[in-house]
Structure 1
Amino acid sequence: MNIKEVSLNIINMTLKAPFSTALGTVVEREGIIIKVMDKDGTIGFGETVAFSTPWYTEETVHTAFHMLKDILIPLILNQPVRHPSEVSVIFAAIRGNQMAKAGLETAIWDLYAKQQEKPLWQLIGGDREQIPAGVVIGTQDPAEAVESISKYLQEGYTRVKVKIKPGHDYELLHKIRRHYPTIDLMADANSAYTLKDVQTIKALDEFNLLMIEQPLGVDDIVEHAFLQKEIQTPICLDESIVSIHDAKSAIHLKSCGVINIKIGRVGGLWNAIKMHDLCIKNNIKVWCGGMIEFGISKAHNIALATKKGFSIPGDISSSSRYWEQDIIEPEISVNNGGITASLGYGIGYELNKKRLNEVTLFKEIYR
């Protein structure tokens, strides 16, 4: 692929409104935008979706920057890459650091698709140009949640996810269901419960949820298998599935009925595709999760979600969901409940250079 140069921009943007989970509240979002350039000047874009602090995984923006600068980028610049699927093999000797790996790997996928003069979603075998859009409500206040849902339903979103935790679960879901008895609704617990809370979780069955996401430990697969036997609502695993091996283990143990596939969490687009294929083969539903991303990561998510197995609307919302102005152009928009995959080469979006410069904290180039 003749990769000549890699550049990193650490950026920071303020969310339009605070986003709360059981693990914490996000007001500002740091991230790393990655540009990979070949000898002809063609550029591929990627995004590392680690947060500023290790509340979601052990990775942070600064640990990911170190991994990219000192280990991953030199690996890519010092050996030939013929196809993006080789990147995960090159990175295999480096343990963990999935988000750092994914940021660079997805930039290489975008570059490769542009070199091949094809949209990325077509290159990876996507079979639909239109994907359904889901939205996450980042408040646990029932009245605010109901108001937010009304707004997003008017904008066309077809699936709603709310964040729950002990003491902020039954009442929240009860009030939402009273106002919206038929919407596709799911709850994300971000590991806030234990097996001592089985009866509390079981009580949520009455709300006919699409799924309850990661109710137990962040790295657990075994206890989720016990819980799934006790409740009717399908369990969706998120944080505890960081590799193909994890997914195979969860399937073997019957720990879940759904897996949330996040490109950043599983180490890249190629791993995400392989996990999609494994789940479909074993009748496990999949959907594409979000990480309060900027537009580059959202664009990669759109490409992934065009694959046939993603039957559940993902956390893929419009640019305006979180940002007054995104870093891409055109910005991503939801129309009539869906997002249309771009027919442009690669991810189909370009960086808004003026906006990127406004929000960049630090930049470095490697050749």
Structure 2
Amino acid sequence: MAFVSHSQRDGIYTFSSRPRPVENRSTYREPPSEQTPSNYGNIMYDRRVVRGNTYAQHIIPLTVQPDPAEIQRQQEIRRRAVTRKHAREQFRLKTPEALQGRKHIDVQTELYLEELSDVIVATDIECQTDAFLDKPATPLFIPAKSGKDVETQIEEGELFDFDREVQPVLEVLVGKTIEQSLLEVMEEEELACLRAQQRAFEELRNNELAEVQRLQEQERRHREEKVRRIAEQKEVLKKQRETAEKIAARAYTQQYLADLLPVVFTSLRSHGYFYDPVERDIETNFFPWLMAEVNNSLDKRYVARELLDNVIHDVARKRLERFKELETQSDRSDT
């Protein structure tokens, strides 16, 4: 164990020592004996205290011999550190060489300049502990007296009174019984309150479950209604498409057959299958009237067809708008 004391430049005294447990020793001085080693009372006469400058001292205890393997390992560690330092210095950017006739010097760049000196100021300081006192003679051990000194006098016939002696016992038994009864009553009331709260919670949970089932059933009905409406709308569009195709086919057939009859008669007449004395009358009177009637009939058919197309177009447009409104309402109800 080494004690170090020194004073810095600003006059602050510092003291440092290796931590150690405090020895339990008596205030009085023990009588000397041959087996007990002498303890130093003043650190100035303790040979373990190091005096003088301790900055550069490296004292190795004589009792501990250094391990060769440990020394070799330390040397290897220092060698590796030096090698790494040289490697870093090789790759580190260095200050360029000074010009001819000049040299580089170390300059302090701190905010406050500090005077550098190799002389270390050291001061010796002493301290004195309190002197030991002679231990007095140990007094004879006498145990302390315990208990109280009391006395009593018992007269004849007053040694034991049952009625008086049993009263505290009865009070304790009755009190414990009443206390236990009160605790049981309070426990029953608490259990009744807990059951009531449990029933209330169960009713609330059942109501919530019923509400959830109602909402699920409502959602299912809305979904089925949406599917049914979509199927009906698809069926209506299919029937409208078939009706339009039938009307177009009928109109095309009527238009195609309108010119078939005159062509047939003309062909038969040109081949000599028809001959009639009144052919002249028919050609001059009947054919112009027939063509006029046919034109009137075709005009009426064209007007009726146009009206029917307009009606179909209006109905299809209204149904399409109604279908879009129903689809929008269904989407809003889903969200």
Pick the TM interval, shorter chain: under 0.3
- Which structure is higher in strand share? 1
Bigger Cα Rg: 2
TM-score by length of 2: 0.14
TM-score by length of 1: 0.13
- Which structure is higher in helix share? 2
- Tell me which of the two structures has the higher relative contact order, counting C-alpha pairs closer than 8 angstroms and 6 or more residues apart: 1
